[in-house]
Structure 1
Amino acid sequence: MQNTIKKMITVAMISMTMLIISGCTVRLSEESFIANDKEPVPFTAEFTQALQQAMPNHLITPLSLEASDHVKLHGFYIDNPNSNTTLVFFQGNGMKIEPYSLSALTTLSTLNTDIFVMDRRGLGASEGQPKIKNIIADAQQQLDYLHQQYQPEKVILHGYSLGSFIAADLAKNNKIDALVLHGSATNADDWVYEKTPWYMAPFLSLEMPDDFRKANNQQVVAQYYQGPLLVIAAENDQEVPPELAEKLFAASQSANKQLIMVPNADHGGMLDNAATMYRYQAFIFAL
């Protein structure tokens, strides 16, 4: 996620006297919240080589897909020759594959699965203007392409931060083998109010597009998805309070669910913890 809500709340705090008198409305728009580049930047040969060097036993294949509205989306398929399981990785807000995902992808490769990852529209190498609806539609198209092109035996959807809402939405209507929610909130309302100082909460109201409210991870795990679930949260996460991960875990109706609360980690450092990756690998092995 990003600092949009922080900025809004800071402005609101400065105007505290007016808030007490008249109340405050935080307006959360797709344009202000979802990170967007002015124009796409193709992957460099140096970055592709760096991926290959980091994962010498994997085959790195650049991907190019055309969305239903002819927007070009770009990413990679990272093929582990000893695996028929594919992990589909949905990144956080503003997290482009190049340069920000080399470390994460290298770490995820230790899970011994194939990896499918795309820059979402409007970010990194991919074209277009992002909206919640078209990001989710793109993700469905990517999942369909994965099945048609690579025919994996098992599919794991891993959503990090904002990407968790994409992964969870796909889990509602697709047969998958596991869902991983990493640095995830329950829903936009909970996230904003958890980030709001207690003394401002009585004066705060939140306006957002309907599509934001429909993206509800807690509702998905409580009502739609009952398969294997792994929730990964950071003890010191300042972006998404870990209490929201605990709330997600409690709401889940899955008979096979695990919560990893990573000690001494922040929003970006969860996968750097060796014990976390050991438990993640065990979770996948047991599927």
Structure 2
Amino acid sequence: MQNTVTKMITVTMISTAMFIISGCTVRLTEASFIAHDKAPVAFNTEFTQALQQAMPNNAITPLSLEASDHAKLNGFFIDNPNSNTTLVFYQGNGMKIQPHCLADLTALSALNTDILVMDRRGIGASEGKPKIQNIISDAQQQLDYLQQHFQPEKIILHGYSLGSFIAADLAKNNQIDALVLHGSATNADDWVDEKTPWYMAPFMTLEIPQDFRNIDNKQVVAQSYSGPLLVIAGENDDEVPPALSEKLFAASKSANKQFIMVPKVGHQGMLEDVTTMQQYQAFITAL
């Protein structure tokens, strides 16, 4: 999710001081919110080598898929020779595999599963113009490809920050074995409410596109998905307040759900906590 809304609210606060009597409206658009690059940048040899060095027992295969509009989407399949379980990792807003994901992928590789990770369209090594609907469509295509070509026995969808909305949306209509929501909000409205200072609320209106409102993690776990659920939150997360993760956990109707509050950690670095990864491993082992 990053800090796009935070920046918008900060600018609005300054502007509001000039015309506080009349109030103001901020319009959140897909173009302003969803991070995108001017052009794709291919993975370099040094990064691929760093991945291989971080997980020497795994086979790392570059993947290139063509979306329905012919945009090329690129990523990696990380094959653990001792696993028939695949963890699909959906990154946060603006989070590119190269250079941002080495630490998280290294941490996740310790879970001893296969890993599928793709740069979403419009960022990193992938082409295309990102919108909510085509990001979801791309993710569904990638999940279908995984099932057809690798045929895993179990599938875990792990969504971080904005990526949690992709993972949860896919969990509604696909047979999966576990859902992991990491640094996640309930929905766009709750997130904006948490990020807006109380003293600004009477003077500011934030218009949110309907496509943002249609992806609702709280609604998914409360009404559509009842399988194993792991929620991971950072105690000091200022980007996505942990109260929203707690609401997600409370709303879930799953009989097998676990909540991890990572102490003294913000929006980044949760997977670097040893105790968290031990609990994550236990969660997977019990599936």
Q: TM-score, normalised to structure 1's length?
A: 0.98
Aligned to 2:36: 36
- Partner of 1:147 in structure 2? 147
1:49 deviation in Å?
A: 1.1
Give the deviation of 1:205 after TM superposition.
2.0
| Shift in CA distance, 149/6, structure 1 to aligned 2, threshold 3 Å | same
1:263 has 2:260 as partner: no
- The Cα offsets for residues 130-153 of structure 1, whole Å up to 9 and x where unpaired, read as 000000000000000000000000
> 1:54 corresponds to which letter in structure 2?
A
Aligned to 1:84: 84
- Residue 148 of structure 1 aligns to which amino acid in structure 2? Q
Shift of 1:19: 5.7
- Deviations 1:82-138 (CA, angstroms, capped at 9, x unpaired): 000000000001110011111110100000100000000001000000000000000
Residue 46 of structure 1 is matched in structure 2 by: 46
Name the amino acid aligned to 2:276: T
Structure 2 equivalent of residue 197 of structure 1: 197
**Correspondence for 2:93:** 93
Which stretch shifts more, 152-161 or 190-199? 190-199
**Alpha-carbon shift at residue 210 of structure 1 (Å):** 1.0
Deviation larger for 1-10 or 48-57: 1-10
Alpha-carbon distance in 2 for matches of 1:208, 1:19? 22
Q: Say whether 1:116 aligns with 2:112.
A: no
Measured after TM superposition, the shift of residue 15 of structure 1 is: 3.2
Aligned AA (2:179): L
2:252 is matched with 252
Instruction: Encode CA deviations 1:232-275: one digit per residue, 9 max, x unaligned.
Output: 00000010000000010111110111110100001001111100
Distance across 1 between alignment mates of 2:5 and 2:103: 27
Secondary structure class of the residue paired with 2:244: helix
RMSD over aligned CA atoms reads 1.0
Whole-angstrom distance in 2 between the partners of 1:18 and 1:277? 48
SS across alignment from 2:75:
strand
> What are the equivalent positions in structure 2 for 1:152-231 lying under 5 Å apart?
152-231=152-231
Matched-pair contact (CA < 8 Å) for 1:57–1:80: yes
Deviations along 1:136-189, one digit per CA (max 9) or x if unpaired, are 000000000000000000000000000000000000000100000000011111
Rounded Cα–Cα distance in structure 2 between residues aligned with 1:152 and 1:19? 58
Q: Report the Cα distance in structure 2 between the residues aligned to 1:224 and 1:3, rounded to whole angstroms.
A: 29
Q: Deviations over 1:23-66 (max 9, x none)?
A: 23221111011110100011111111111111000000000000
> Quick check: 1:19–1:203 contact (8 Å CA) kept in 2?
no
Q: 69-78 vs 1-10, which deviates more?
A: 1-10
**Cα pair 2:16 2:24 within 8 Å, conserved:** no
Residue type of the alignment partner of 1:52: Q
Alignment check: 8 A CA contact 2:16 2:23 kept: no
Moved more, 233-242 or 3-12: 3-12
After TM superposition, the score normalised by the length of structure 2 is 0.98
Determine helix, strand or coil for the equivalent of 2:32. helix
Measured in 2, the distance between the counterparts of 1:145 and 1:221 equals 25
CA distance in 1, matches of 2:10, 2:53: 44
Contact 1:189 1:206 in 2 (8 A): no
How far apart are 1:2 and its partner, in Å?
Answer: 2.1
| Separation of aligned partners in 1, 2:246 and 2:200 | 24
Contact 2:16 2:203 in 1 (8 A): no
Q: CA deviation at 1:20?
A: 4.1
Identity %: 78
Unmatched 5+ stretches in structure 1: none
- For 1:31, the aligned partner's letter is A
